[in-house]
Amino acid sequence: MYVITGGTGFIGSNIAAALDAAGEDVVIVDTLGCDDFKWRNIAKRRLVDLVTPDALPAFLAANRAAIRGIVHMGAISTTTETNVDVIVHNNVRLSIDLWTFASEHGIPLVYASSAATYGGGEQGFEDRDDEAFLAGLRPLNPYGWSKHVFDRFVADKVKRGAPTPPRWAGLKFFNVYGPNEYHKGGQRSVAVQLHEQIRRQGFVRLFKSDNPDYADGEQLRDFVWVDDCVSVALWALRTEGAQSGLYNVGSGVARSFLDKAKIVFAALDLEPKVEFMDLPQNLRGKYQYYTRASLDKLCSAGYDLPATTLEEGLGRFVRDFLEAPDRFR
């Protein structure tokens, strides 16, 4: 069986769908609460079990011989969360415990890092895992910092020659979009929010720029289709001989928010109508104006599938999900 923490969430539920489609047994570790979206993210799945995070240690101990791999996607992922103790408990402590368990029992582990670890990008976006490079990164929010803490923990274990899982990968996801992200509220991808604005009001609103190097709407991001993220995660998890390491997961191309808006309008066969609004106060000084994943390391490690273009990915998202009667995978 494969254990997926955060398996009712965005990327986790898409990974669960791919494993289920391949005939694998899947165990999801997550909480559902009163959310009317998260259970729908897994409504089509065949599950061996659904485990709450507090019951995970006992489940792992009882089933360790049957576990073929762990996919750790569970985290508080909102970039505006301010309770750092809660973030540390969820994003750091559980990650360390899973790393230790996987190392002790010889189980492959893939975990979610984030492009947020790069901060403003002053040092670039190379997925290096040497201590000198990692020590110089300055994430802009507690979420990015928590992911960075665990990346450095892993790098230190490897450097010291401590036990590690037989295969492991930390995946630095860039700006992911795709089905099953509807529960994320204000943290939903720009793609979903643009589509919603167009259908509700006929136009979209993008942030103005307060950086003189970027015009309004020309802030640049590496937008990545969720299926590409799933493909990389399964390659790292299931490929014998896959090289362990910290890897960027993106498209390798920086595109503007204005580009993205125009593509969504085109997918709906509508003329673009765009307005601009001031950047919220709580994002000033914490806003990334440019991200682009360097994919050289991933390609050198043996992953060779091409990234989905923004036009293709957004077209599929709008056509097959956002405009479909059933938006869920």
Mean pLDDT of the 207-211 span: 90
Q: Can you tell me the mean pLDDT for 310-324?
A: 98
pLDDT tens per residue across span 120-163: 888 889 999 999 999 999 998 999 999 999 999 999 999 999 99
Give the mean pLDDT of 256-283.
94
Beta pairing partners, 275: 205
What's residue 80's pLDDT? 66
Is-contact 157 164, C-beta < 8 A? yes
Q: Which of 2, 111, 118, 143 is catalytic?
A: 143
The one catalytic residue in 44, 157, 184, 208 is 184
Residue 143 is a catalytic residue: yes
Span 3-13, mean pLDDT? 97
pLDDT band with cut points at 50, 70 and 90 for residue 76: confident
pLDDT at 56: 96
Residue 189 lies in a domain: no
pLDDT of residue 312: 98
Distance CA 64, CA 17 (A): 22
C-beta atoms surrounding 326 within 10 Å: 11
Q: In the structure, what pLDDT confidence band is assigned to residue 198 with cuts at 50, 70 and 90?
A: very high
Active site residue 2: no
Residue 50: which domain range? 2-178+223-252+290-308
CATH of the domain at 233: 3.40.50.720
Predicted TM-score (pTM) of the model is 0.94
Identify whether 322 is part of a domain: no
Are 219 and 207 a contacting pair, CB within 8 Å?
Answer: yes
Q: Does some domain include residue 274? A: no
Kindly report, residue by residue over 31-49, the tens digit of the pLDDT: 998 888 999 999 999 999 9
Residue 197 lies in a domain: no
The answer to the question of residue 329 being in a domain is no
What is the count of structural domains for the chain?
A: 1
Rounded to whole angstroms, the Cα distance separating 109 from 102 reads 7
Q: Is 22 part of a structural domain of the chain?
A: yes
In a domain, 278, yes or no: no
Residue 279 confidence (pLDDT) above 90? no
Across all residues in the chain, what is the average pLDDT?
A: 94
Q: Are 177 and 251 in contact (CB under 8 A)?
A: no
Classify burial at 157, counting beta carbons within 10 Å of its beta carbon; exposed 0-12, middle 13-18, buried 19 or more.
Answer: middle
Residue 265 is assigned to a structural domain of this protein: no
pLDDT over 90 (residue 89): no
Q: How far is CA 223 from CA 44, 81, 232, 262, in A?
A: 27, 22, 15, 14
